[in-house]
Amino acid sequence: MHSGRIGEVATYLPGRRVAGVRVRADLVEVHVTANWGSDLLPLADAIRLAAASVASRTVHVVIQDVLGPIEDGPATEA
């Protein structure tokens, strides 16, 4: 889940805050961070399908950020 640049994407529930989800009258926004190399369209479709099963409105998925590849070890100078 990704809450935006300054944490502005969230839903407030009694006693807690759900980061990365914004519920509006007509739609639900789900903001996420993807891993490097992820196939983004199937990822967004899977998230949309899962959220739509519990939301009674349109679901928009926003890929807010992508984590870079993980290196095997420390960088070396050539």
pLDDT in tens, the chain (78 residues): 777 777 678 888 899 988 889 998 899 999 999 999 999 999 999 999 999 988 889 999 999 999 888 755 555 554
What's the CA gap between 63 and 52, in Å, rounded?
A: 17
What's the CA gap between 37 and 48, in Å, rounded?
A: 19
What's the CA gap between 23 and 70, in Å, rounded?
A: 33
Q: 30: buried, middle or exposed (CB in 10 Å: 19+, 13-18, 0-12)?
A: buried
Quote the pLDDT of residue 49: 94
CA distances from 43 to 1, 32, 58 (A): 13, 10, 17
Q: Where are the domains of the chain?
A: 10-67
